[in-house]
A and B are shown apart, each in its own frame.
Chain A
Amino acid sequence: MSRKIVEIAGRKLSLSNLEKDLYPAYGFTKAHILEYYRRIANVILPHLQDRALTLKRYPEGVDQEFFFEKRCPVHRPAWVKTAAVNLEDREQMTVCLVNDLETLMWVANLASLELHVPLARAASPGVPDSLVFDLDPGDPANILDCARVALILRDLLKPLGLTGLVKTSGKKGLHVYVPLNRPETTFTDTKKFSRAVAEILQKNYPELVTAKMAKEYRRGKVFINWSQNDSSKTMICVYSLRAREKPLVSFPLAWRDLEDLAGQDDPEKLQVISSEAVSRAEKQGDLFSEVLVKQQKLPHL
C-alpha cells in the first residue's frame, strides 16, 4: 500500500492508495478525489460545519461494496473534531464534524466519496435550519420533470414569502432547500409544511407529482420526499461527489439557469461533473450560501 504524508495547517496526515481508481468506468483516482475536495473546500466547508457527518465509504470503488458509517471512526487523528449524539437507551455516539480542510482531506482519504449531513447542527439536533423538498423521479420520469416541479415549487412558495434554492442531487433528482435559520423551528413544523405542499402539488399535478412513498405510485412521476425533514435523516451535502459511473456532484443551480435547462430537452445538461463544479464554484462563489444565513418563517402553522 502506497502512503504519502502531507501537512495541512501544521497537521500531518497520511494519505494512502492515491493511485487507486475509484471511478473505474471514468478513470478518477483517490488522488483526483482528494484534489476535488481540496479545491472545493472553501464552498463545501460552511455546509459541513458543525453537522454530524455520515460517511459513505467506497473502499474498492463506486461499483463495489460500500458502507455507511455514522460513528466517527475510532482510528482518527486527535485533531478531528467530534460531537456526542444521543441515542436511545441513554447511549451516546461520537460523530465527526468536518470543520476544516485537514478533516475534509482525512475523510476523503477514507474513500468516503459521499458526504451526508443532517438538516440540523449537532449542537441543536432538533432545530432544522432549512426545509427540504427532495424531488426523486420514478422511471421513466427524469431530472427534467424534477426541474418542472422545482419551478412550480418556487412559484408556489413566493406568495407565502418564502425563497427556495435548488441543487442537483448528483444522481437523478433535484433538492429544493428553503432556508429558515430560526431557533424555534422544529422538524414537526418542517415535516407538516413540506407534506402539505407535496400533497397540494399531487392534487393539482396528479400526472407529474406524487407525495406517496410506495413504489407503485412513483412510476413516471416525481416523488416529493417530504419525510426527509426529520432529525434522523441526512441529505447529500451540497458540493459532495456522488458514487456513480462519473464523478458527478450535488451542485447548486441558479433559478434562471434551471429555467433555461428545463426548456432544453437534454437531462444530462443539468448534471455537473467535478471538474466543472470546481471551475463554476471559482467563478460564481457559493450559490447556496443563503441556505445558511437567510432567516425565513414558515407561515400558517
Chain B
Amino acid sequence: MAVTGIWTGTISFSLVAIPVQLVKAVRPGRVSFRLLHSKDYSPLARRMLCPEEEVLVPPDEIIRGYEIGPDKYILVTDEELESVSPERSRTIEILEFIDLSEVEPVYFDQPYYLVPAKGGEKAYRLLVEVMRRTNKAGLAKFVLREREYLVAVKSVGEALALITLHYREEILSEEDLEPAQGELEAMEKSRLKKSIENMMADFNPEHYADQRRDRIMDLLKKKAKEQGQVEAPRVEEEEGEGPADLIAALEESMRQVKKSR
C-alpha cells in the first residue's frame, strides 16, 4: 500500500531509533456537502465581513486579537505566535511506558498509525512484538503542526498505533458536575450489577454502522442514477479587458490576418 504520511521522522527510546511515517487511522464517516448557490450551482466561498463598514475585508487587513472583555482585545502578530511555538521536531521520544488501561478514555483525542519507513522495517517489527508481549504503551511528546502533543504509542495487530492525548488542564473534572445526592441502596446496586452481567458481550464494532451515513449514500447513488448531476459554472467568467496597447496591437494584427485569408 502506498501511503503518504502527514509527518516523517523517527520514534526512539533508549538506543533504538526507527524511521517512521505518521498516517491517519480514521477516515471520518460523516458525509460532507458543499454549499451551493441555488441559482447557478456555484460553490459558495467564505469571506470575512466587517459588520461595522459592511465591506469584505481582504486578507492583508486581517489581524488577530485575544478577547479580554467586551470590545477589548490584545493584539498578537503571527511572528509573536511563532516565537512561542515549539521547534518542529523529527522525533517521537518515548519518555516512559505505562499501562494504557490506567488512562481514562476522556484523554483520548486522535488516533494515527505509525508506518515504518525504508530501513526501519525490522526494528519496527521488533518494537511491535515487544510492546504486544508486555502489553504496555509508550508515553511520548512530539510536535506536529506547531503544537506539542502528548501521545501514547501502542501495538495494534502488526502495527503501531499512536493516539494523541489531551493535556490534564483540558479535561473538565467530573467533580464539577452536579453533586451526587442521597444514599445508594444495596438492593438496587446488586440488581443493577446483575443486569449488567446479563448484558455482557465481546466488543464487536462490525455489528454497528452509521445508519444515517448508509442511507445518505444510498440516496446519493439513487439520485445520481435518476436525476444526474448539476454543474457549476467555471470561475473567472467575466469579460476581461486586457491592456489597451495589447488590445490595439492584437486588433491590428487581426486585420492583417483577415485580409490575407
Contacts and interface: CB of A to CB of B under 8 A. Distances in A.
A199 B240 contact: yes
Contacts of B249: 159-160, 299-300
B234 A214 contact: yes
Interface stretch (A70-78, A135-143, A260-268): A70-78
A192 B242 contact: yes
Given A204-B258, A213-B234, A192 B252 contact: no
A215 B231 contact: yes
B2 A156 contact: no
B155 interface: no
Given A74-B4, A195-B240, A214 B233 contact: yes
Contacts of B240: 192, 195-196, 199
A32 interface: no
- Size category of the A interface is 20 to 34
Contacts, number: 72
Contact of B4 (A71, A152, A158, A214): A71
B260 interface: yes
B174 to A, nearest CB: 37
Contacts of B257: 152, 155-156
A74 B242 contact: no
A71 B231 CA distance: 29
B243 interface: yes
B110 interface: no
Nearest to B233: A214
Nearest to A155: B257
B3 interface: yes
B220 to A, nearest CB: 19
A75 B236 CA distance: 39
Contacts of B245: 300
Interface residues of B, number: 31
B237 A195 contact: no
B246 A299 contact: yes
A301 B243 contact: yes
A81 interface: no
A293 interface: no
A227 interface: yes
Given A74-B21, A159-B256, A213-B234, A197 B2 contact: no
A200 interface: yes
B218 interface: no
B219 interface: no
Nearest to B88: A90
A156 B251 CA distance: 9
A159 B256 CA distance: 9
Contacts of A199: 239-240, 242
A200 B5 contact: no
B247 interface: yes
Nearest to B256: A159
B2 A75 contact: yes
Closest 3 CB pairs of A and B: A196-B242, A213-B234, A300-B246
26 contacts: A71-B4, A74-B2, A74-B4, A74-B21, A75-B2, A78-B118, A159-B249, A159-B253, A159-B256, A160-B249, A160-B250, A160-B253, A193-B242, A193-B246, A196-B246, A196-B247, A197-B250, A200-B247, A200-B251, A204-B254, A213-B233, A213-B236, A213-B237, A300-B245, A300-B246, A300-B248
Given A74-B4, A156-B250, A214-B237, 19 more contacts: A74-B3, A74-B21, A155-B256, A157-B253, A159-B249, A159-B252, A159-B253, A160-B249, A192-B243, A196-B240, A196-B247, A196-B250, A197-B250, A200-B247, A200-B251, A200-B254, A213-B235, A213-B237, A214-B234
Interface of A: 71, 73-75, 78, 152, 155-160, 192-193, 195-197, 199-200, 204, 212-215, 227, 299-301
